Amino acid sequence: MARPPSRSLAAVVVALALAAPAPAAAQQAGLDDFLAALDFREMGPATMGGRVSDLAIHPSAPATWYVGLATGGVWKTTSHGSSWTPLWDDQPCPSIGAVAVAPSSPNVLWVGTGEPQNRQSSPWGCGVFRSTDGGRTWSSLGLEDTRHVSRIVVHPTDPDVAWVGAVGRLWGPNEERGVYRTTDAGRTWDKVLFIDEDTGVIDLAADASDPNTLFAATYSRRRTGFGFSASGGGGGIWRSSDGGDTWERLSEGLPEGEIGRVGLDVHDRDGDLVYATVEATGGDTGLYRSRDRGATWEKVSSNNPRPMYFSLVRIDPNNPDRIYLGGVQLQVSDDGGRTWWDRDGAENIHVDHHALWIDPSDSDHVVLGTDGGLATTFDGAETWRAITNMAIGQFYEVDVDDRDPYWVCGGLQDNGNWCAPTHSLDGFGVDNDHWIPIHTGDGFHNHPDPFDPEYVYTESQGGNMARVHVATGQQQDMRPIARTDDEDAEYRWNWNTPIVVSRHARGTVYAAGNHLLRSRDHGITWEEASPDLTKNLDRDTLRIFGRPLGEEHLSRNDGIGAYGTITAAAESPLDARVLWAGTDDGNLQVTTDGGATWSNVVERVPGLPPHTYVSRIDPSHHEPGRVYVSFDGHRNDDFAPYVFTSDDFGRSWRRITDGLPDWSVNTVREHPRTPSLLFAGNEIGMWVTFDRGERWHRLEGDLPTVPVDDIAIQERENDLVVGTHGRSVWILSGLGPLEAQARADVVAEAVELFEPQRATQWSIAFAWPFQGDRFAGENPADGAVLRYWLRDGVEAAPAVTDGGTASGDGGASGNGGSSAGASPADGVRLVVSDDTGTPVRTLDGPAG
């Protein structure tokens, strides 16, 4: 641990000297340039990765991998995963479904966006893209409304010819699904296989020796806010022998009943050998094999783990009897699928497998993509190396404490709950070892106790809550249990169950099921603080594909444990009696008397479609009746942004979405010190408004395109902590410039020196330096950071400090030693003076 910090900085004042003239290109004008100049720092972690959708490996350089992530873009390594380059940071959408390398021209890459894994958290895409330079630049090729692309097959000798399998919308019907073909590098497309507006193509495979022979797996699935079904009626396996011009449905030996998801693979050296995982009714689910190009099939195993989420089968190119199946555990057969063994549990490889590549020149070399990133083996799956240098964590929720330096805690998809300091104090940055696991499962809410930050209230899927001592790992389970023997009266818990920790009363914590539950003793005992706040609909009566969910459906409700649950809850920072709750079935409830009475105010929200999921509630720090609420309609196939504010406890509302694109909004936060400054996170990034939502602007800086699921503001440091669902945690240090813009139009001023953040001189702890290259998140900048704004075209004479006359206030640290009276040739001069006016440091800065 680091020794206590030293805080011996003297009071100083700063004078700003401008070059005259200094028309440097970096002297940017306009709000977009102002926002683009902001510098987020990447905190990580990389210990736990994120969900991998697809892999593509260079055909003659097996150390070069291209990886498509469910929510984190496309990445490249040329060193078997020792180092990485993200290739997708500035593209329009972050979700990847398919990646393919042209066999005859490996610098040609094809990418289909929108992951096909059907999760309740699956994002959607924006079409198909192509690169001709190994991923340095990309061209958009259309097919935007396919939404989810499952597979791309590239012709083995012509890189301009490709086939795209499009699953189509997950949450509703559309016609942009099926198999698409291009023969001119994506300039034009032909839809060569189409079943109906509910049926897409979930997998696509070709005979490597005869690319005119194609196999397509059709799939009818629908997810809603209340359930899931793969019983749309269009599932099956299809074959084309003429490059997609015509197709025939294959049936001999396949299940006669309803077919759901299918996974396909064709043997690289024997196009007659085809394997398929088939989801079916009547006990017919399993692994099927054809030895005659699909003309006839035989069931070789009942093994087919969780079809909705996996359906991955791969044949060893050098051994047709070795078969790999993706699932919770990786399963391997050496006898063509008759018997199976698990080979990843003991080696600590992450569960849930979605992508797998076998080296055609060396079958012992396998690359595996999971819910936790990547792993590779060079001994035929006997031992594995986990790749832990990609910061691609999928955070759902983040929060901060008030320690110094402060800590961030958060929960990740299938990767548990973790906490770490935001400054490592060892000089190397925040590496994987600084992150402490505090709870397992799918991680969600993690809230440090504001009265004792050594304790964190944490939650994993379905309301599994605990109070954890971070240093020791001691846990106290705290999930409330209904006091009844009636199963129908049991509490219902959302997959992402909200926890609210009171800042008004020590030990008071709220858990949100279908009731809001309150504990006044750190979660040991509970009381109901509300009635059932949901619509309390009977899910079995609700319909998907025209059929009630109470009837048989393939993969029925997979991924949705309960419906009619609270999804957002909050306590007013100004009044403990004011509580808010929003639900997955579209209610928005408020109490102003601590839960004695509740009002459902959702009908007063103008223009909000019914049954819209409430994604975030943020009561104001400035006015007791003010609140900000975001709604997420994508579960109803509605992708419009919905953000509203009320100043009167929900009696009236104003929509505040001007400037937001048509991507669902996940979170909204008010700045605790500046009431007109708000932040929002949606499926492609961060947004800011300086006028309480009259107009939103992209808060991009160097933050990649990524879903932002949660935002926290550390009040003492004035930092913005961003929980991304695909690129781990990022921090924007020092919100002073944004506060200044919210108070006055700073970008219209010629020059502005912003109030510096508090700076601390730390005593650095010793750390063993000989650990090789490894991922480390960025520490905050050493010393004090001085931020300034210069409008484009500013010309000014040198400013000189004289006898205590100066402009601005702040602290300083850094390098520099020029005389105070001189001006830099092409930038600015910052002169730091003590309270007598004596210069103590002179810093030369860039002009932009």
Among 77-81, 291-295, 711-715, 825-829, which is the least confidently predicted range? 825-829
Rounded Cα distance, 616 and 377, in Å: 42
Residues 6+ apart with CB under 8 A from 82: 389, 773
Task: Say what the pLDDT of residue 575 is.
Answer: 99
Rounded Cα distance, 798 and 440, in Å: 59
| Backbone dihedral angles phi then psi of residue 438, each to the nearest 5 degrees | -120, -15
Q: Which two tokens stand for residue 406?
A: 């402060």
The more confidently predicted of residues 440 and 796 is 440
Task: Say what the pLDDT of residue 814 is.
Answer: 38
Decide: 178 and 161 in contact? Cβ < 8 Å: no
Rounded Cα distance, 269 and 193, in Å: 26
Instruction: Based on the fold, state whether residues 302 and 248 are members of the same structural domain.
Output: yes
Among 9-13, 376-380, 622-626, which is the least confidently predicted range? 9-13
255 — pLDDT class (breaks 50, 70, 90)? very high
377 pLDDT above the threshold of 50? yes
> In which residue are the tokens 């958290």 written?
121
Examine residue 43 and state whether it is found in any structural domain, yes or no: no
Task: Say what the pLDDT of residue 795 is.
Answer: 63
Among 147-151, 460-464, 745-749, which is the least confidently predicted range? 745-749
Task: Say what the pLDDT of residue 487 is.
Answer: 65
Instruction: Based on the fold, state whether residues 330 and 278 are members of the same structural domain.
Output: yes
Print the domain residue range for 359: 50-387
Domain boundary, last residue among 387, 406, 430: 387
Examine residue 181 and state whether it is found in any structural domain, yes or no: yes
Task: Say what the pLDDT of residue 768 is.
Answer: 76
Mean pLDDT on 616-628: 99
The more confidently predicted of residues 3 and 42 is 42
Task: Say what the pLDDT of residue 467 is.
Answer: 99
Instruction: Based on the fold, state whether residues 282 and 319 are members of the same structural domain.
Output: yes
Decide: 537 and 549 in contact? Cβ < 8 Å: no
Examine residue 509 and state whether it is found in any structural domain, yes or no: yes
Instruction: Based on the fold, state whether residues 406 and 383 are members of the same structural domain.
Output: no
300 pLDDT above the threshold of 80? yes
Instruction: Based on the fold, state whether residues 300 and 399 are members of the same structural domain.
Output: no
37 pLDDT above the threshold of 50? yes
Q: Which two tokens stand for residue 508?
A: 């008071």
347 — pLDDT class (breaks 50, 70, 90)? low
Q: Which two tokens stand for residue 453?
A: 């930050």
Examine residue 220 and state whether it is found in any structural domain, yes or no: yes
Decide: 812 and 801 in contact? Cβ < 8 Å: no
26 — pLDDT class (breaks 50, 70, 90)? very low
105 — pLDDT class (breaks 50, 70, 90)? very high
Tell me, rounded to whole angstroms, the distance of Cα 275 from its chain centroid: 33
What CATH number is attached to the domain comprising 251?
A: 2.130.10.10
Domain boundary, last residue among 337, 352, 387: 387
Task: Say what the pLDDT of residue 23 is.
Answer: 36
Task: Say what the pLDDT of residue 773 is.
Answer: 82
Question: What string of DSSP letters covers 581-650?
Answer: EEETTS-EEEESSTTSS-EE-GGGSTTPPTTPEEEEEEE-SS-TT-EEEEEE-GGGT---EEEEEESSTT
Task: Say what the pLDDT of residue 124 is.
Answer: 98
Listed residue (540, 547, 548) closest to 232, CA to CA: 547
Decide: 547 and 498 in contact? Cβ < 8 Å: no
Rounded Cα distance, 302 and 322, in Å: 17
Listed residue (582, 626, 577, 620) closest to 600, CA to CA: 582
239 pLDDT above the threshold of 90? yes
Mean pLDDT on 639-653: 99
Task: Say what the pLDDT of residue 821 is.
Answer: 52
The more confidently predicted of residues 816 and 708 is 708
Q: Which two tokens stand for residue 73?
A: 């873009």
Instruction: Based on the fold, state whether residues 275 and 319 are members of the same structural domain.
Output: yes
75 — pLDDT class (breaks 50, 70, 90)? very high
Q: Tens digit of pLDDT for each residue in 652-683?
A: 999 999 999 999 999 999 999 999 999 999 99
Mean pLDDT on 275-302: 98
Examine residue 34 and state whether it is found in any structural domain, yes or no: no
Instruction: Based on the fold, state whether residues 531 and 444 are members of the same structural domain.
Output: yes
3-state secondary structure of 740: helix
Rounded to the nearest 5 percent, the helix, strand and coil shares of the chain are 5, 40, 55
589 — pLDDT class (breaks 50, 70, 90)? very high
4 pLDDT above the threshold of 60? no
Task: Report the phi/psi class of residue 503: left, alpha or beta, with left for phi > 0 and alpha for psi in -120 to 50.
Answer: alpha
3-state secondary structure of 692: coil
Q: Give the percent of the chain with pLDDT over 70.
A: 91
Q: What does pTM read for this prediction? A: 0.94
Task: Say what the pLDDT of residue 782 is.
Answer: 84
Task: Say what the pLDDT of residue 810 is.
Answer: 35
18 pLDDT above the threshold of 50? no
Q: Which two tokens stand for residue 251?
A: 């049936």
Mean pLDDT on 811-825: 46
Q: Which two tokens stand for residue 35?
A: 């926002």
Task: Say what the pLDDT of residue 825 is.
Answer: 60
425 — pLDDT class (breaks 50, 70, 90)? confident
Decide: 728 and 44 in contact? Cβ < 8 Å: yes
488 — pLDDT class (breaks 50, 70, 90)? low
Q: Tens digit of pLDDT for each residue in 426-459?
A: 888 999 999 999 999 999 999 999 999 999 999 9
Task: Say what the pLDDT of residue 813 is.
Answer: 35
Query: CA angle at residue 365 from 364 to 371, to 5 degrees?
Result: 120
Task: Say what the pLDDT of residue 345 is.
Answer: 52
Task: Say what the pLDDT of residue 12 is.
Answer: 44
461 pLDDT above the threshold of 80? yes
Instruction: Based on the fold, state whether residues 715 and 802 are members of the same structural domain.
Output: no
29 — pLDDT class (breaks 50, 70, 90)? very low
Instruction: Based on the fold, state whether residues 468 and 539 are members of the same structural domain.
Output: yes
> In which residue are the tokens 């240093």 written?
471
Q: Which two tokens stand for residue 603?
A: 């009908």
Look at the chain and report how many structural domains it folds into. 3
766 — pLDDT class (breaks 50, 70, 90)? confident
Instruction: Based on the fold, state whether residues 718 and 625 are members of the same structural domain.
Output: yes
Instruction: Based on the fold, state whether residues 542 and 611 are members of the same structural domain.
Output: yes
798 — pLDDT class (breaks 50, 70, 90)? very low
Q: Tens digit of pLDDT for each residue in 175-191?
A: 999 999 999 999 999 99
Task: Say what the pLDDT of residue 819 is.
Answer: 47
Rounded Cα distance, 589 and 604, in Å: 11
What does the DSSP 8-state code read for residue 805?
A: B
| Backbone dihedral angles phi then psi of residue 146, each to the nearest 5 degrees | -65, -30
Examine residue 45 and state whether it is found in any structural domain, yes or no: no
Examine residue 33 and state whether it is found in any structural domain, yes or no: no
Listed residue (778, 779, 780, 776) closest to 389, CA to CA: 776
Domain boundary, last residue among 387, 412, 445: 387
28 — pLDDT class (breaks 50, 70, 90)? very low
| Backbone dihedral angles phi then psi of residue 602, each to the nearest 5 degrees | -65, -30
Q: Which two tokens stand for residue 38?
A: 């902001």
Query: CA angle at residue 44 from 41 to 48, to 5 degrees?
Result: 165
Q: Which two tokens stand for residue 723?
A: 């929980």
Pairing, β 499-501 against β 416-421: unpaired
Task: Say what the pLDDT of residue 806 is.
Answer: 32
791 — pLDDT class (breaks 50, 70, 90)? confident
> In which residue are the tokens 């700076």 written?
759
769 — pLDDT class (breaks 50, 70, 90)? confident
Examine residue 232 and state whether it is found in any structural domain, yes or no: yes
Mean pLDDT on 546-566: 97
Q: What is the mean pLDDT of the chain?
A: 92
Question: What string of DSSP letters covers 10-55?
Answer: PPEEEEEEE-SS---TTS--SHHHHHHT--EEEEE--SS---EEEE
Query: CA angle at residue 41 from 36 to 43, to 5 degrees?
Result: 150
Mean pLDDT on 492-511: 98
What does the DSSP 8-state code read for residue 746?
A: G
221 — pLDDT class (breaks 50, 70, 90)? very high
3-state secondary structure of 364: coil
End-to-end C-alpha distance for the chain, whole angstroms: 38
Instruction: Based on the fold, state whether residues 379 and 399 are members of the same structural domain.
Output: no
Task: Say what the pLDDT of residue 763 is.
Answer: 78
Q: Tens digit of pLDDT for each residue in 126-146?
A: 999 999 999 999 999 999 999
